[in-house]
Amino acid sequence: MVDQVGRVLGGRYRLVAPIGSGASAQVFLADDVTLRRRVAVKVLHPALADDEAFLRRFRAEARSAAALSHPHLVAVYDWGKDGGPFLVLEYLGGGSLAAMLDRGARLTVAQALLVGLEAVRGLDFAHRRGFVHRDIKPGNLLFDEEGRLRIADFGLARALAESAWTEPTGDFVGSARYASPEQAQGRPVDGASDLYSLGLVLIEAVTGKVPFAADTSIATLMARVGAEVPVPDAMGPLAPLLAEVGRPDPDARPDAATVGRRLVAIARDLDAPAPLPLARAVDLSALRDLADPEPTKLPAAPPPAGGRDGSEGEAVDPEPAGGPAGAPAGAGEASRRRRRAAGPGRRTRRLVVGAAVALVLVAAGIAGALALAPDPPPEHAMPSLVGMSSIEARDALARIGVRPAAPDTRHVEGTASGLVIDQDPSAGTMVAEGSTASFVVSLGPPPVEVPSLESLHQDQVAAVLEGARLVLGAVEPVHHEDVGAGIVLTWRYGARERPERAPSGSAIDVVVSAGPAPRTVPALAGERWEDAAQALRDLGLVAERDDAFHDAVEAGQVITTRPGAGQQVERGSAVTVVVSRGPDLVTVPDLAGRSLAEATRILEQAGLERGDVFGRGERVFDSDPRAGARVRRGTAIDLYVRR
């Protein structure tokens, strides 16, 4: 790559220093000698110059990528073919995430969250416009000098994949270490594939290891087909979200917008991240050994007019002490006497002429400087940013070529969090392309103290919060065995439990007791009374016994319950347990000597019925069953009579 330094591509881009290389391209820091700015030039492998299918796709993808203008996507300025195809990109001096990791740096969870949030914002912007990256990896996550992330190479992976080019290893184009399961299977991919790859990148950034990484590309790819991504505990509060984006089924993964919202919610519970340990793309101090490392810088001004030593004073006589060359000795002294005799008038004229010459030279210098100076940049009316989100404000500035400064944030009463509330310059002001504008993003109303809601009844909560300039949010009832219904158990603001402070006007969600959970009456039929009663007591219910005859249930066993099995009752409710007394038996009375009418009445009183009557007469002398026998209540007793 060093041999390429100094080469000019397309008659415009002079390669200044190498930045990095891969299997299919080399990247250089370059000077755009037309616009006099630093750019990055990605020079693709010369073998691709003869691949017409690739060149068609490359041109189409370059045009499409150039239309993507977003604060977290690398800007594409130009493309061309000079010995091989090349792309001209925005130069980012902060280096790549891959360079950071190669130097042994590891990110904290908070730093990884910031990297992930900026990446998903760029991905969401592209996905909503129909673009899929297909090759998210640390080498394609770049940073500017202030640590803001940009995603590089949108469209290039697709163009390479549809070319005849293969990497020296024979693998498909794109990094197997970060490929999604659907890429491994050769299936069509969408935005869910980019999020899967980003999840692997974030895990590597914190732990130094890529899940499923094996000795070969094939082993790496096959290991993740159908498998959930194992998220290490080191990812902390990011772990549940990374597990979701690491699902093998792309339809089960959240989209970029959802991931962004989840990351913002998680960030509320993390400390602010430390600055990223950037690995600079190029050591600019090393460029001083190169010829003309700063071609856009004007040369130093010539020394001021005056004496030969640069000092101010009267013009020095150009003639030597001995007079002009070839003059006789003494001629110089005679000449000086003649000049002195001429008086001050001649000297004055000479000074005037000298001043006029100096003015002409100064004017010429100014004219030359003006001729060399570049044309002033175009100007545009500053748009109104107030009411936009931070991303929308950056997009609006990018459309007029103005750089956004790091946004200021502050709490302001009556404003919505996340929206721009002030800007500089103001809307309508004419601003030049390349200038910087700043804006202020609201953090919402100033925070106020959240009062303790401990043990309050839910009917009291709204008034207490109103007195603290807060409002009651969602009320969630939860069963509690020891706290009465309606009493507050806890309260939340967002994901924070029992917060001490929250923005004025915020909604505070509360969790209240719904009292003890209802009990389900168990199935007790056939159980002994003692066991059934204990089972009900264990559930917090009261057992009440009711005995009843039953022909089929043994005495002492449960026949049924009221309420029946499976029904729900409140804790402490009474449940009636019906216990069998066995069959209902009665003794056949002695009816001998009784008249038929008397015998019938006695049987009915005993719970029996009169059966058939055998013989002639009115006096009973025997029965069947006979007197003293034990029979079931309602049994028919046959009678024998005579005169």
Per-residue model confidence as pLDDT tens digits over 562-588: 999 999 999 999 999 999 988 888 999
Q: The pTM is what?
A: 0.47
The span from the CA of 454 to the CA of 75, in Å, is: 54
Identity (one letter) of the amino acid at 595?
Answer: S
Cis bond before residue 425 (omega within 30° of 0): yes
- Domains 382-442 and 519-580 agree in fold: yes
Least confident of 64-78, 170-184, 524-538: 170-184
The span from the CA of 30 to the CA of 52, in Å, is: 27
Q: Which of 158, 88, 75, 74 is nearest to 119 (CA)?
A: 74
Two tokens, residue 276: 């990223």
How many CB atoms are closer than 10 A to CB 30?
Answer: 27
Two tokens, residue 441: 């993003």
Q: Which of 618, 615, 608 is nearest to 626 (CA)?
A: 608
How many CB atoms are closer than 10 A to CB 611?
Answer: 15
What is the percent of the chain with per-residue pLDDT over 70, rounded to a whole number? Answer: 82
Least confident of 19-23, 200-204, 253-257: 19-23
What percentage of the chain's residues is helix, strand, coil (to nearest 5)?
30, 25, 45
Across the range 3-20, mean pLDDT stands at 90
Two tokens, residue 408: 């200021």
> For 617-621, which contacts have Cβ atoms below 8 Å and span 24 or more sequence positions?
617/641, 617/642, 617/643, 618/643, 619/593, 619/594, 619/595, 619/643, 620/591, 620/592, 620/593, 620/594, 620/595, 620/596, 621/592, 621/593
Exposed / middle / buried, residue 393 (Cβ in 10 Å: 0-12, 13-18, 19+)? buried
Least confident of 122-126, 351-355, 404-408, 425-429: 351-355
Which residues are known catalytic residues?
A: 135
Cα 534 from chain centroid?
54
Cis bond before residue 563 (omega within 30° of 0): yes
Residue 330 is predicted with a pLDDT of 44
CATH class, domain 519-580, is: alpha beta
Write the CB contacts of 423 (distance below 8 Å, at least 6 apart in sequence).
382, 384, 385, 386, 393, 437, 438, 439, 440
Is the pLDDT score of 506 beyond 60? yes
Calculate the alpha carbon distances from 634 to 213, 584, 597, 606, 621 in Å. 85, 9, 18, 9, 22
The span from the CA of 322 to the CA of 332, in Å, is: 5
Superfamily of domain 49-75+85-267: Transferase(Phosphotransferase) domain 1 (1.10.510.10)
The span from the CA of 175 to the CA of 139, in Å, is: 10
Residues 195/120, Cβ–Cβ less than 8 Å: yes
DSSP-assigned beta bridge partners for residue 641: 620
The span from the CA of 601 to the CA of 606, in Å, is: 9
Topology (CATH level 3) of domain 585-642: Trypsin Inhibitor V; Chain A (3.30.10)
Calculate the alpha carbon distances from 521 to 232, 405, 540, 603 in Å. 44, 67, 11, 42
Q: Which of 507, 518, 519, 459 is nearest to 486 (CA)?
A: 459
Q: Which of 306, 180, 318, 153 is nearest to 248 (CA)?
A: 180
Q: In whole numbers, what is the pLDDT of the chain averaged over residues? A: 82
Cis bond before residue 293 (omega within 30° of 0): no
Residue 97 is predicted with a pLDDT of 95
pLDDT tens track for 221-270: 888 888 999 999 999 999 999 999 999 999 999 999 999 999 999 998 88
Write the CB contacts of 392 (distance below 8 Å, at least 6 apart in sequence).
none
Write the CB contacts of 96 (distance below 8 Å, at least 6 apart in sequence).
20, 138, 139, 140, 141, 142, 143, 279, 281
pLDDT tens track for 295-313: 444 444 444 444 434 333 3
CATH code linked to domain 447-513 = 3.30.10.20
pLDDT tens track for 324-350: 433 344 444 444 444 444 455 555 555
The span from the CA of 142 to the CA of 124, in Å, is: 17
Q: Indicate the angle between helix axes 256-267 and 109-127, nearest 10 degrees.
A: 150
The span from the CA of 253 to the CA of 268, in Å, is: 23
Measured between its terminal Cα atoms, the distance across the chain in Å is: 140
Calculate the alpha carbon distances from 530 to 526, 540, 545, 550, 559 in Å. 12, 16, 10, 19, 13
pLDDT tens track for 614-641: 998 889 999 999 999 999 888 999 999 9
Task: Return the SS3 of 570.
Answer: coil
Is the pLDDT score of 55 beyond 80? no
Residues 556/580, Cβ–Cβ less than 8 Å: yes
The span from the CA of 392 to the CA of 408, in Å, is: 15
Q: Are strands 609-614 and 636-642 parallel, antiparallel or unpaired?
A: parallel
Is the pLDDT score of 515 beyond 60? yes
What residues does each domain of the chain span?
Answer: 49-75+85-267, 382-442, 447-513, 519-580, 585-642
Topology (CATH level 3) of domain 382-442: Trypsin Inhibitor V; Chain A (3.30.10)
Residues 627/603, Cβ–Cβ less than 8 Å: no
How many CB atoms are closer than 10 A to CB 10?
Answer: 14
The span from the CA of 521 to the CA of 569, in Å, is: 7
Region for 174 from its dihedrals, namely left if φ exceeds 0, alpha if ψ lies in -120 to 50, beta otherwise: left
What phi and psi, each to the nearest 5 degrees, are found at residue 142? -110, 160
